[in-house]
Structure 1
Amino acid sequence: MARRKNVSGIARDALAFILEASRSTHPHEFAGLLRSDGRLISEVVLVPGTTSDEGSARMLLDMMPLDMSIVGSVHSHPVRDLRFSEADIDMFGAKGYYNIIVAYPYTDKDWVCYSPDGEKVSLPVVEADQ
């Protein structure tokens, strides 16, 4: 299982990017990896070769960067459902501790973060310079 890293929140700019990318790929799913600056989730890493459709997004594990600052994953659901599927929970542990799902209509209220075992994780949105 992925180990929890000391992350105190997500940068507002990173969340804004996630929401906009999800809107842009709608009705297909969006997927990426979450990078931490050591304190906050500060960036989204787009994995080469990622494909998606209306029901799933697939990241190629062999294309994932060897990057110790990766702390989790993000993907969108093009419907109003923030619950994870069995496929989601299977993926969570492989990508890190923090796993964000965003759902249509992709506002700042339409997301949740889960641990690898499916427990909700509190992840405050903060300004990156705080």
Structure 2
Amino acid sequence: MKIKGIESDALNFILKVSESTAPLEFAGLLHADNGVITEVIVLPGTESSSCSAIMRLFMMPNIKSVGSVHSHPSPNIKPSKADLQMFSKTGSHHIIVGKPFDEKSWKCYDRNGYVQDLPVIDSEINNDEIV
């Protein structure tokens, strides 16, 4: 599935939950409808600490993931080696959020750790109208 962007409500959820869980990392999987990321799936059994978040991928419900999201408790939002290993297992779009957890403190990466554009789409727009 070609990903066209992320809904603003989904991004706001990611930013708020990342801020509220700091200094622990937050982690989840991304779900898309009609090519737009609309939801974050938090898997049961996910463990968080100040240096990592471990998702139990075997707990994934019968839903296809298009990628992952996790927070770093610092402003450093570059993927680590462990991040890249997770990226290879969970889809094509991976968001990392860091302090101060605002609209400028996140990036989307491909499975190899290269930055990729991910437009923010107003949640009020009907996904069918997105080209």
Matched, 1:82 2:77: yes
Which deviations, in whole Å up to 9, do the C-alpha atoms of 1:81-127 show, x marking residues without a partner? 01110000010010100000000110010000011011111001011
Where 2:15 maps in the other structure, the secondary structure is helix
RMSD over aligned Cα atoms: 0.9
Which letter maps to 1:34?
Answer: L
Q: Deviations over 1:39-69 (max 9, x none)?
A: 210010110000100000000121112212x
Question: 2:10 is matched with which residue?
Answer: 14
Q: Give aligned pairs, total.
A: 125
In the alignment, structure 2 segments of 5+ residues that lack a partner are: 126-131
| Counterpart for residue 116 of structure 1 | 111
Q: Who is 2:128 aligned against?
A: none
Counterpart of 1:38 in structure 2 is 34
Question: Using the alignment, how far apart are the partners of 2:46 and 2:117 within structure 1?
Answer: 27
What residue number does 1:98 align with?
93
TM-score normalised by the chain length of structure 1? 0.93
TM-score by length of 2: 0.92
Q: Does 1:65 align with 2:61?
A: yes
Structure 1 residues not aligned, in runs of 5+: none
Residues 41-52 of structure 1 aligned to structure 2 (within 5 Å): 41-52=37-48
